Amino acid sequence: MGISSDNVRGFLLAVSSSVFIGSSTIIKKKGLIKSGAAGTRAASGGFSYLCEPWWWAGMITLIVGETANFVAYAYAPAILVTPLGALSIIFSAVLAHFMLKEKLHIFGILGCVLCIVGSTTIVLHAPLEKKIESVKEVWHLATEPVFLVYSFLVIVVVVVLVFKYAPRYGQSHMIIYVGICSLMGSLTVMSVKAVAIAAKLTFEGMNQFKYFETWFFTVFVIGCCILQVIYLNKALDAFNSAVISPVYYVMFTTFTILASMIMFKDWDTQSATQIATEVCGFITILSGTFLLHKTKDMGKGPPTQPPLFQTQSHHQNQNLHPTRTL
């Protein structure tokens, strides 16, 4: 990893962000459980969690974490900041154990370890941040044909998931809710990066909020965040948070780094060895996620369902064919 003061600032901010974001997941989950017991669950389309103090405590914690994350993107490249979100998995798992009585079995722990090892590999080989002098430079990068195609495909897939698959399969297939949040999250991070750079340059004396592009990115971030909050709440309400956190993290990280490489052309400043090492990190992360997803129900007894065909008991047969007495 290229060592610079900006990268160090970004690293420290990203780590502190992971602590708050990992904690917020469990606090919000507790609020969703309490609100679901008193009203319509979020997974069923309810918004009773808006009246639950625990949920708001989780949102405040999330805002603190996202603020630290926002500032981190102003100093360090997305390929460094985003993978550090793996640390939030640890805090989520620990708090879930104490607050929600949710336990990860041995394969779940192994999956978390693989995620962290893969993330560490990527962090150690992260490129230096490219120097950007104006938000107009970010706008130019975001409007290049390759990134426009990526953005179009992401939006199309999200629209299909939201309107076709989420209402029918969302509560039984967590990949739908998580996919919506992860795909939109990759575009959100690129916009957050633009707004963070604009804010940083403005504080340095170069006002960027006089440009239309800055306000476009700001509005886009707000809209995407609202969509992600709604569907992440649905996912947390419908599924085990100890599984949701790692799966969401890995999908979000993968799409975000892909978007960053397309938009900022991060590969231009990296050698073949660095790129190969980062690919190995991705494979390690994906392996951990696959393990978590495939073994999420291990240790639970099979659900008891009534048989499709019930056989009549001996007494029922006697009632249907009573014996005749002479």
Identify whether 200 is part of a domain.
yes
- What residue type is assigned to position 251 of the chain? M
pLDDT at 21: 83
Identify whether 300 is part of a domain.
no
Report the chain's C-alpha Rg in angstroms.
Answer: 24
Q: What are the tokens at 21?
A: 């974001």
My answer on whether 140 and 255 are in the same domain is yes
Residue where one domain finishes, among candidates 226, 243, 269: 269
User: Distance (Å, rounded) from C-alpha 271 to C-alpha 65?
Assistant: 33
Instruction: Give the count of alpha carbons within 13 A of 185, CB side only.
Output: 26
pLDDT band at 128 (very low <50, low <70, confident <90, very high): low
Question: Cβ atoms within 10 A of the Cβ of 165, count?
Answer: 16
My answer on whether 153 and 90 are in the same domain is no
Under 8 Å CB-to-CB from 257, ≥6 apart: which residues? 78, 79, 82, 83, 122, 282
Domain that holds residue 80: 1-102
Q: What are the tokens at 279?
A: 């690919």
My answer on whether 66 and 13 are in the same domain is yes
Question: Taking the chain, what is the end-to-end CA distance rounded to the nearest angstrom?
Answer: 97
Which tens digit of pLDDT belongs to each residue from 129-182? 667 788 888 899 899 999 999 999 999 999 999 999 988 888 888 889 989 999
**SS3 assignment, position 147:** helix
Listed residue (18, 44, 50) closest to 167, CA to CA: 44
**CA quadruple 291, 293, 298, 300: dihedral, nearest 10:** 170
Identify whether 112 is part of a domain.
no
Mean pLDDT of 272-298: 72
My answer on whether 239 and 159 are in the same domain is yes
My answer on whether 172 and 262 are in the same domain is yes
Listed residue (254, 248, 295, 285) closest to 116, CA to CA: 285
Identify whether 137 is part of a domain.
yes
Identify which of 26-30, 80-84, 117-121, 315-319 has the greatest average pLDDT. Answer: 26-30
DSSP, residue by residue, 241-262: HHHHHHHHHHHHHHHHHHHHHH
Question: Cβ atoms within 10 A of the Cβ of 264, count?
Answer: 23
User: Distance (Å, rounded) from C-alpha 129 to C-alpha 3?
Assistant: 10
Please give the biggest Cα pair distance in the chain.
110
- The whole-model pTM stands at 0.67
Identify whether 301 is part of a domain.
no
Q: According to DSSP H, which parts of the chain are helical?
A: 5-38, 53-75, 78-81, 87-95, 106-124, 135-142, 145-160, 166-169, 174-203, 212-238, 241-264, 272-294, 314-320
- Tell me which long-range contacts 40-44 makes (C-beta under 8 A, separation of at least 24): 41/237, 42/233, 42/234, 42/236, 42/237, 43/170, 43/171, 43/234, 43/237, 43/238, 44/171
Identify whether 302 is part of a domain.
no
Mean pLDDT of 106-116: 78
My answer on whether 136 and 264 are in the same domain is yes
User: Distance (Å, rounded) from C-alpha 55 to C-alpha 108?
Assistant: 26
Which tens digit of pLDDT belongs to each residue from 1-58? 445 677 778 788 888 888 888 888 788 888 888 777 776 666 666 677 778 888 888 8
My answer on whether 156 and 57 are in the same domain is no
pLDDT at 283: 81
My answer on whether 197 and 244 are in the same domain is yes
Residue where one domain finishes, among candidates 223, 252, 269: 269
Burial class (CB in 10 A: 0-12, 13-18, 19+), 78: buried
pLDDT at 312: 43
Cβ 116 vs Cβ 87: under 8 Å: yes
My answer on whether 216 and 252 are in the same domain is yes
Q: How many domains does the chain have?
A: 2
Cβ 54 vs Cβ 44: under 8 Å: no
Cβ 73 vs Cβ 196: under 8 Å: yes
Identify whether 292 is part of a domain.
no
My answer on whether 213 and 155 are in the same domain is yes
My answer on whether 143 and 239 are in the same domain is yes
Residue with tokens 């893969």: 118
Identify whether 282 is part of a domain.
no
User: Distance (Å, rounded) from C-alpha 269 to C-alpha 119?
Assistant: 20
pLDDT at 40: 67
Which tens digit of pLDDT belongs to each residue from 78-89? 777 777 776 777
My answer on whether 67 and 151 are in the same domain is no
Q: Mean pLDDT of all residues in the chain?
A: 77
Residue where one domain finishes, among candidates 250, 269, 288: 269
Cβ 218 vs Cβ 195: under 8 Å: yes
